């Protein structure tokens, strides 16, 4: 099994436009954005409760503190939320007023139960197929998050921390390199 496909900004825009026709648009949009804009794994998205992202006064937190039970490697980590993602989450949370803060942040439309990592991964795959994005998967958002930040010059060490990887080599495998990136890098040498 190969690595997940990194999604371009245009492909993400196409995916988000496609989600508009889904029944739970704001929920679906926010689940996808949590992977693309915060680098969460699909299992981490599925494990979130409202209280993980919302303060008691219903404002959105700037950081999510994932417990070891919520992460792949069973190591707690902090996920920083950009203001744009905080704004998106605030719009979504407004649809969940009155729900217990301990409830799942994202739940199925059918029975209000928490998604499993597998069920959410299958849903993400469906979204990518519906948007016409070949080889998109539940891990595409995380890979895109890391690759796009690397392309903007964020150091591999910072990316390692943002991704919650224990080894730098793991982070480096996420970064897609193409001819345009190499050309831009070489142009930096000119005075």
- Give a yes or no: residue 179 inside a domain: no
pLDDT tens digits along 76-107: 899 999 999 999 999 999 988 777 889 999 99
- Give a yes or no: residue 58 inside a domain: yes
Q: What is the pLDDT of residue 116?
A: 93
Q: What is the pLDDT of residue 181?
A: 73
Whole-angstrom distance, CA of residue 3 vs CA of residue 140: 9
Whether 41 shows a pLDDT value over 80: the answer reads yes
pLDDT band at 2 (very low <50, low <70, confident <90, very high): low
- Give a yes or no: residue 158 inside a domain: no
* Residue ranges making up the domain that contains 109: 21-117
- Give a yes or no: residue 162 inside a domain: no
If 0-12 CB within 10 Å is exposed, 13-18 middle and 19+ buried, where does residue 57 land? Answer: exposed
- Give a yes or no: residue 44 inside a domain: yes
Whole-angstrom distance, CA of residue 108 vs CA of residue 111: 6
Whether 178 shows a pLDDT value over 80: the answer reads no
pLDDT band at 162 (very low <50, low <70, confident <90, very high): confident
- Give a yes or no: residue 133 inside a domain: no
Whether 118 shows a pLDDT value over 70: the answer reads yes
Q: What is the pLDDT of residue 191?
A: 66
The tokens describing 122, both together, are 């299958």
- Give a yes or no: residue 55 inside a domain: yes
We report the CATH number of the domain holding residue 112 as 1.10.443.10
pLDDT tens digits along 48-60: 999 999 998 889 9
Of residues 157 and 90, the one with the higher pLDDT is: 90
Q: What is the value of pTM for the model shown?
A: 0.87
Whole-angstrom distance, CA of residue 61 vs CA of residue 186: 39
Tell me what the pLDDT averaged over the chain comes to: 88
Whether 65 shows a pLDDT value over 90: the answer reads yes
- Give a yes or no: residue 145 inside a domain: no
Domain count of the fold of the chain? 1
């Amino acid at each position: 099994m190969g690595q997940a496909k990194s999604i371009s900004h245009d492909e993400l825009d196409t995916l988000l436009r496609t989600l508009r026709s889904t029944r739970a648009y704001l929920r679906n949009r926010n689940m996808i954005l949590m992977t693309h804009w915060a680098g969460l794994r699909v299992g981490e998205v599925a494990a979130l409760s409202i209280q993980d992202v919302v303060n008691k006064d219903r404002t959105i937190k700037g950081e999510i503190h994932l417990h070891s039970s919520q992460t792949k490697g069973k190591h707690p980590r902090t996920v920083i939320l950009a203001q744009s993602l905080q704004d998106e989450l605030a719009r979504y949370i407004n649809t969940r007023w009155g729900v217990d803060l301990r409830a799942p942040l994202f739940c199925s439309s059918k029975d209000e139960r928490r998604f499993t990592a597998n069920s959410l991964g299958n849903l993400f795959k469906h979204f990518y197929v519906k948007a016409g994005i070949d080889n998109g998967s539940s891990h595409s958002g995380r890979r895109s998050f890391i690759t796009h930040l690397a392309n903007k010059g964020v150091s591999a060490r910072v990316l390692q921390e943002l991704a919650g990887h224990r080894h730098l080599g793991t982070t480096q495998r996420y970064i897609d390199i193409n001819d345009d990136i190499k050309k831009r890098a070489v142009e930096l040498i000119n005075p």
